[in-house]
Amino acid sequence: MISVIDWIQKIKTNENEAIKEIYMLCKSECLQWLQKEYNCTKDDAMDIFQLSIMILYDNIKTQKLKILTSNLKTYVFGIARNKALELHRSRQIPVTDDYLSFVASYVIDEDNNVNEDQINMVCQSLDELGDPCKTVLVQYYYHDKSMDEITLMMSYKNADTTKNQKYKCLKRLQNIYFSHKQKSIKD
């Protein structure tokens, strides 16, 4: 396996061979991931993947990317994620994670008295939270991503910044949830 920094050097010295290798290394896994996590069609996933490879190449050639501090796949997947979200926003298609089962698995384990309305309220609160908070929390709690992975994915400065963001997001989610809960009690 070529080390992280070697990919940049290889693209600079033998770009055709390097791009072919990166393409083959990432293609299958990235296409499956885009289809599963972002509900992309096969064609959209392929377009996003190819665009991600082109962006990686361009970032290296323009020296926007001088040192890869993560795994090459993680970098390519981060670009693909951003492009998938852009595509969904441009088409006004919501990204559909299975929040109901996600919330149910966390909430019902803690309290057997939780009803469906409460679960729906949590889902609604998470949807209202919006990005980047929604993405950070879903990636951490639902997809079990590490702080380092989320830091790279979200282009934050470091893992401490990501932890701070996650904390603030949880507080915002709590506030939204409890305001809904109070409103439902009044109604």
pLDDT band of 45, cuts 50, 70, 90: very high
pLDDT tens for each residue of 117-132: 666 677 777 778 888 8
Taking 90 as the threshold, does the pLDDT of residue 30 lie above it? Answer: yes
Reference 48, options 59, 35, 65, 64; nearest CA is: 35
- CATH code of 4-91, in short, is 1.10.1740
- pTM equals 0.48
Q: Where are the domains of the chain?
A: 4-91, 99-186
Whole-number pLDDT of residue 116: 58
